[in-house]
Amino acid sequence: MTMLQQNYQSVLAQIATAEKDAKRHDKSVRLIAVSKTFPASDIREVYAAGQRDFGENYIQEWYAKTEELADLPDLVWHIIGQVQSNKTRFVAERAHWVHTIDKLKTAERLSAQRPQHMPPLQVCIEVNVSGEASKHGVPPQEAVALAAAVSKLANLKVRGLMCVAEAAAGEDELKRQFLLMRDLLGRLHAAGVGADVLSMGMSADMPLAVACGATHVRIGSAIFGKRNYA
Ligand SMILES: *Cc1c(COP(=O)(O)O)cnc(C)c1O
């Protein structure tokens, strides 16, 4: 096993432990391996160990990787960064999931540009659960209305909600933010939007996110190592 493959196995084991501690079913949490800033060769290594879901933030960087990895047809690409309106076409044509919908306009473009032969693009509404000014996402009180509007678009499928919890928050505050997400998902159901996904939890806060109901965790550095943005 390579170093990345060892890291990967250890993250899978940590998720299994978190599921068990939270009295949740085995494999009820899906791992998205966040590969931003890392080369396609690293993705290949983790793919060879069995991983299929990968998350990317920067559309241009990701698009180049889709070309390099075109021989791996069962890769599932999750866009977890902002999609500017001049990049929606790439995303509509090659992504499987977008976790960061916070504007109806972006969703409308993605739906219009989704090729007819492809299945609907799976999307989550990003919620600014911490209220930090630097964060993307809709305020919690606007999440249900946006999800309801997006659910009317023909070529998108609303799957649930996503957040990036506050990095500096203590355990109690993090828990409050994750539980608010769970509560919002319940309100989506009540509003008739049949969504089942809570995309939350990263390398630093995964066990707590799982305890609070995360269905998809997005983990980068614990698998691929420290990122160098230079
Ligand atoms: C980078 C990133 C992650 C992964 O973060 P790590 O701390 O490396 O696990 C998860 N979600 C989003 C939105 C990210 O941008």
Query: Considering the chain, what is the average pLDDT of its residues?
Result: 97
Ligand 1 geometric centre to CA of 182 (Å): 20
Q: How many CB atoms lie within 10 A of CB 53?
A: 17
pTM flag (> 0.75): yes
With beta carbons less than 8 A apart as the criterion, state whether 21 and 14 touch. no
Token representation of residue 99:
């976790």
Residue 220's identity, in one-letter code, is G
Token representation of residue 90:
């790439």
- pLDDT tens digits, 6-21: 999 999 999 999 999 9
Is the beta carbon of 79 within 6 A of some atom in ligand 1? no
- pLDDT tens digits, 63-108: 999 999 999 989 999 999 999 999 999 999 999 999 999 999 999 9
Is the beta carbon of 34 within 6 A of some atom in ligand 1? yes
Q: What domains are defined for the chain?
A: 3-224 (3.20.20.10)
Is the beta carbon of 203 within 6 A of some atom in ligand 1? yes
Kindly report the backbone phi and psi dihedral angles of residue 167, in degrees, each rounded to the nearest multiple of 5, phi listed first: -60, -35
Is the beta carbon of 78 within 6 A of some atom in ligand 1? no
Alpha-carbon span 182 to 197, nearest angstrom:
10
- Mean pLDDT across the stretch 37-66? 98
pLDDT for the residue 229: 78
Ligand 1 geometric centre to CA of 99 (Å): 12
* Confidence band of 194 (pLDDT split at 50, 70, 90): confident
Instruction: Report the nearest atom of ligand 1 relative to the CA of 36.
Output: 1
Half-sphere exposure of 211 (CA within 13 A, CB side): 14
pLDDT for the residue 73: 87
Alpha-carbon span 12 to 6, nearest angstrom:
10
pLDDT for the residue 230: 67
* Confidence band of 153 (pLDDT split at 50, 70, 90): very high
